[in-house]
Amino acid sequence: MSILRLAAVTREVGTFVILDSIDVAIALGDRVGLVGPNGAGKTTLLRIAAGLDEPDRGHVSRKRGLTLGMLAQEAHLDERFMAAPDLRTAVRHGAAHLERMAEELAELESAGRVVEPHYAELQHRFEIHGGYTLDQRVDAALSGLGFSAQDVVRAPASLSGGEQTRAALARLVIADPDLLLLDEPTNHLDLGALEWLEEHLRRRAGSLVVASHDRAFLDATVTRVWELRDRRLTTFRGDYSAYHRQREERDVLAAKSAETHDQQVARERELVQTYRSHRKMSKMHEHEARLERLQAEAIEVPRSRRRLRLPGAGLVGGGPSRSGEIVARADELVVGYLAAAAGVTTDVAVARAPFLAARRGERIGIVGPNGAGKTTLLRTIAGELPPLDGSVTFGSGVQLGYLAQLRAAAIPGATVLDALLEQIPVTPGEGRAYLARFLFRGDDVFKEVRLLSGGERSRLELALLGITPSNLLLLDEPTNHLDVDAREAIEGFLAESPATIIVVSHDRRFLDTICERLWVVDGGLIVAFDGGYRAWREAVASGWTVAAAVELERARLHPSAGSREARLRDPAPPRSVKAGGVPGVAGIGDDAPTGGAAGLATRARPSATGAARGPKLSKDAYRRQREAIDAELTRLGLRKNHLELAIGDPGVRSNFVELRRITSELADVESALIIAEDAWLAIEERAP
């Protein structure tokens, strides 16, 4: 039995049709994902279903007594919410019916009417609807959606826009209506809050319609998909992945059918002309009738979607140059910001990283809860914030491109084209051709920047980022506000790009597709994790923590001198590796490593400890030694890749002797890489 039905619903704005004859129904317990490109009408459909807007034609029917709640992309909170003394009370007001029942029960108890049947019935309904567990559920919702104990006592008016949206979501969770309508609920949620919300929606008995571009979220929460495309709505069974397969199959079949139909029409036209020229009128009329039937049965081919096409080279300067093997390195780095109070400026540390390194071509994701310091770390690497302690060092030939979180600062220029032309002096024609790759076509280039939607702002930011070639891309939430097609275009571009990529993202499908390593930020600490998103979540479920990983990293970098345990943790490489190590390193001077990996780890790092540096090298000596180290880093990196591939060979894995040999050589190569990396750092500190 349906609880809500839309019959022939049409919505128009002027002469433009947004929704055209939509027929759809929602049954009790349905969990529906609403998908489609930006501007397809998803928000309009949800507002009509919620009764906030009326259709121009058609009818919306709702079950009598239906309770319905909607979360908009930008939460518009009511006066009662904003007037609440604290966040906890404001969220608790979501269960207003339970609060009224509790007040009535209290009045009956104070009047001594607890023996009346009405009291017993009311108490039973209060218990059935979870009234006695309301406070626990409020605390669980606030904690699960990322609010701390300090946040819940703040006044709602003091919250940021994103925090208010999360608070509105918590209130809807507590209200638990029969039908929940969510418009992009994953905005402003970190990974922990996403997983909590998914689990809650899976357990929830009521109906759900959620519009989202988060593919992993849809896979976890929905069992049906509504697709809005070309003003029409099509239904699919299954989660997002099942929908995607069905959609591709339907599009391929429709394209083939249309091609066959066009061939039949062309053939009938040819036959009509042939029989007319031969004056065989009966045959001609027979094929004319067939042609009319075919033309009346014209197959509608799905219109090709406008796809984001990211250029492989910059608008100027061609493609990026090749950087050194070590692209960026952080030693004992402390990230944070400067705070001014009463005329005194103080350092506010956000997170500390003992050691981080990004090698050429690596794709690294920065993950962690909101407020942990992910953006602060990326801004420090980009040079927008100075390190509070420690150092960030870049390799040779690094060309850096930085995409900040959107809306952090105004984009210069009155229009989209102006914004591009202010960054680079090209002709308007060249600028328009370049912007077309980012879906700014025709009059779109004359849109005012201040009036752009979130998705359009994202695309413009990407366009400005790609003006010059970059071999190190620092991306802060690059998929924010982008639809699925645009997200997949970015994934395809980054997967094929030779650039080194360091990206902050909450999009789990994006992290799974792109990132082979992670930097995890949590509890004031930053540590590298060798594995992708799924491997990290599995490790966390098995007890992995940032604090424990940082301690292991510190023990690796600074083992106790002469300690047997330290030698076991970080054994020195065999003599053959030292003999065949980095060419030219011996000539570096006092900073050259004299031991194996363990001795290297205990050597004082000039950037972190302030130890005395060796004398500056001449330009010629610096060039020769730098070229030698870069060549050795490249050789060792390639050898490491070959050995790792060999270990995955079933033939090698079944041969114990060969496997032991390759494993031993891989350990030697990794130790030599550590030596070469420190030699590279020492050379940089003595650059002329």
Residues 479 and 342 in one domain: yes
Q: Given 552, 573, 588, which residue is the final one in a domain?
A: 552
For residues 550 and 512, what is the distance between their CA atoms, to the nearest angstrom?
23
Express each pLDDT in 360-387 by its tens digit: 989 999 999 888 899 999 999 999 899 9
Of 154-163, 636-645, 651-660, the one with minimum mean pLDDT is 651-660
Q: CA-CA distances (angstroms) from residue 100 to 204, 334, 638?
A: 23, 51, 69
Instruction: State both tokens at 371.
Output: 């407020």
pLDDT of residue 233: 92
In 3-state terms the chain splits into helix, strand, coil percentages (rounded to 5) of 50, 20, 30
540 with 392, same domain? yes
pLDDT classification of 390: cutoffs 50, 70, 90: very high
- The Cα-based distances of 287 to 142, 294, 298 in angstroms read 71, 10, 17
Q: Which range, 428-432, 598-602, 658-662, has the best average confidence (pLDDT)?
A: 428-432
Residue 456 lies in a domain: no
Average pLDDT on 237-249 reads 91
How does pLDDT run across 61-81, given as a tens digit for each residue? 999 989 999 988 665 567 778
Q: Quote the number of domains for the chain.
A: 5
Residue 560's pLDDT is: 52
Any domain includes 185:
no
- State whether 359 and 375 are in the same domain: yes
Contacts of 504 (CB under 8 A, 6+ apart): 365, 366, 367, 374, 375, 378, 475, 476, 477
Please indicate, yes or no, whether residues 265 and 230 belong to a single structural domain of this protein.
Answer: no
Sign of the CA dihedral 412, 414, 416, 417?
negative
Q: Are residues 366 and 479 in the same domain?
A: yes
Determine which helix (DSSP H) or strand (DSSP E) holds 492, and give its type and residue range. Answer: helix 484-496
Does 663 fall in a domain?
yes
Q: Which of 553, 629, 541, 630 is nearest to 593 (CA)?
A: 629
The per-residue pLDDT for range 224-236, each reduced to its tens digit, is 999 998 888 999 9
What mean pLDDT do residues 642-661 have? 75
Note whether residue 307 is domain-resident. Answer: no
pLDDT for residue 660 is more than 80: no
Domain C-terminal end among 196, 216, 238? 238
Q: Exposure string (b/e) for 499-515, b if CB count within 10 Å is 16 or more? A: bbbbbbbbbbbbbbbbb
> Predicted confidence band at 592 (pLDDT cuts at 50, 70, 90)?
very low
Residue 114 shares a structural domain with residue 215: no
Residue 21: inside a domain, yes or no? yes
Is the residue at 318 inside a domain?
no
Is 406:454 a contact under the CB 8 Å cutoff? yes
Residue 539 CB burial class (10 angstroms; 0-12, 13-18, ≥19): middle
Q: What is the pLDDT of residue 612?
A: 42
Q: What is the pLDDT of residue 3?
A: 92
- Residues 493, 607 within the same domain: no
Token readout for 289 is 């009738």
pTM for the model: 0.69
Same domain, residue pair 60 and 75: no
Q: Do 571 and 533 share a structural domain?
A: no
Residue-range definition of the domain harbouring residue 594: 558-685
What's the confidence (pLDDT) of residue 521?
95
Looking at residue 63, what is its pLDDT? Answer: 92
Tell me what the pLDDT averaged over the chain comes to: 81
Query: In CATH, what number is assigned to the domain containing residue 371?
Result: 3.40.50.300
Same domain? For 674 and 569 the reply is yes
Reported as a single tens digit per residue, the pLDDT across 434-472 is 888 888 888 888 888 877 766 777 788 888 887 777 889
- Residue 570 has a pLDDT of 44
29 or 643, which is more confident?
A: 29
267 and 232, same structural domain? no
Predicted pLDDT at 301 = 59
Share of the chain above pLDDT 70, in %: 85
Same domain, 376 and 255: no
